[in-house]
Homo-oligomer: A and B are copies of this chain.
Amino acid sequence: MASQYGENIKLTIFGQSHSAGIGMVLEGIPAGQEIDLEALQAFLDRRAPGKNAFSTARKEADEPEFLGGFVGNRTCGAPIAAVIRNTNARPSDYEALKDVPRPGHADFTARVKYGGFEDASGGGHFSGRLTAALVLAGGIVKQLLEKEGIEIISRISSIGGIADEGPLKKPTSDKAFPTVSDEAGKAMQERIAEVKAEGDSVGGVIECKVRHVPAGLGDPIFDGMENRIAKAVFGIPAVKGIEFGDGFEAAERKGSENNDAYGVEAGCVRPVTNHAGGILGGITDGKCIRFSVAVKPTPSIAKPQASVDLTTLEPVTLSVPGRHDPCVVVRAVPAVEAAAALAVYDALLNRKKEL
């Protein structure tokens, strides 16, 4: 089902950009899990808009109200349900767009699919705002993984071709701009400021690692960790590619260069290198899971673009009004972590059934 994810947990995402609210239902979390609601809010805040120069000016508190699933701050076994109110919607911004699809956005495809009955306002159910629900669910599950010693970290590895430097070895979440190299981060921010000034936007790549994940997670064929993570990650609107380990680079190599030899480490057999991104046959091999995600440039730009009025079929030159991120990559970082958390936690529950 379109707005659902998971096998052992089941996440359901609902709401539209300008409906009363957006939210999620997350079923399958065992009872008795204590959730640090402050830490959860901090995780949500990493995604929340309006915080700095490179994100949309739309300000939303993104504070969830829990409708069920908790007794105090402990899960009670019932589905966790939460709503985040849409308080700062400005549907008027979108009035003019009603019949003129924004290039690169889901306006046109939603119109075709729903025959004009879609909620077009603000991107409706396709709005990036829906990732708040993903981040909320992922934030809960991320805390549960942390209790098992599993840590999810990530960074912006490039913006518009400007690459971060050095390997990702610890969280970057304490930084306003999450890169390993602050210098590289500064260059990226300048690039973003540049395109913003042009009324344009820019894309980038996010790298994510799941550390201290035990060997043996994931399942063969269609439920491997790659399939699971990819299915979750492509739930983030602007994602257009994913690669695990060396990914597309591996395709240029020889087997002898790409295979990870085995060695013994603290009495355990482990791959010595990690070209595979910690996954073989869909199953974790004890190294960290490593993947990268391609995020396209924000489609909503002020720069004039060619579109068509769907009612008259007349060409229209469109300059998208409203408050848009010149670079959605920054706010997509916690969403990628959330997607990874959901995938890994779901696989972890699956593993419990085998043991």
Contacts and interface: CB of A to CB of B under 8 A. Distances in A.
A174 interface: no
Select the residue from A68, A106, A230 with max chain B CB neighbours within 10 A: A68
Nearest to A74: B117
A301 B259 contact: yes
Nearest to A109: B283
Given A1-B27, A105-B281, A200-B256, A15 B78 contact: yes
A161 B69 CA distance: 39
B226 A240 contact: yes
Select the residue from A16, A21, A158, A281 with max chain B CB neighbours within 10 A: A281
B14 A69 contact: yes
Select the residue from A112, A202, A307 with max chain B CB neighbours within 10 A: A112
A105 B281 CA distance: 7
Interface string A219-236: 111111011001110110
A40 interface: no
Contacts of A115: 31-32
A125 interface: yes
Contacts of A301: 255-256, 259
A247 B294 contact: yes
Given A81-B23, A227-B230, A4 B14 contact: no
Contacts of A263: 306, 308, 315
A122 interface: no
Contact of A294 (B76, B215, B251, B276): B251
B241 A158 contact: no
Interface stretch (A139-147, A165-173, A347-355): A347-355
B4 A262 contact: no
B269 A308 contact: yes
Given A14-B79, A77-B118, A130-B221, A30 B308 contact: no
A28 interface: yes
Contacts of A299: 255, 258-259
A252 B23 CA distance: 32
A75 B307 CA distance: 27
Interface stretch (A5-13, A41-49, A177-185): A5-13
Select the residue from A27, A30, A262 with max chain B CB neighbours within 10 A: A262
A220 B78 contact: yes
B248 A3 contact: no
A177 B107 CA distance: 40
A239 to B, nearest CB: 7
A113 B354 contact: yes
Given A2-B27, A248-B248, A255-B303, 14 more contacts: A1-B222, A20-B65, A32-B117, A68-B125, A78-B220, A104-B280, A108-B280, A112-B285, A205-B251, A227-B231, A227-B234, A242-B243, A255-B297, A352-B352
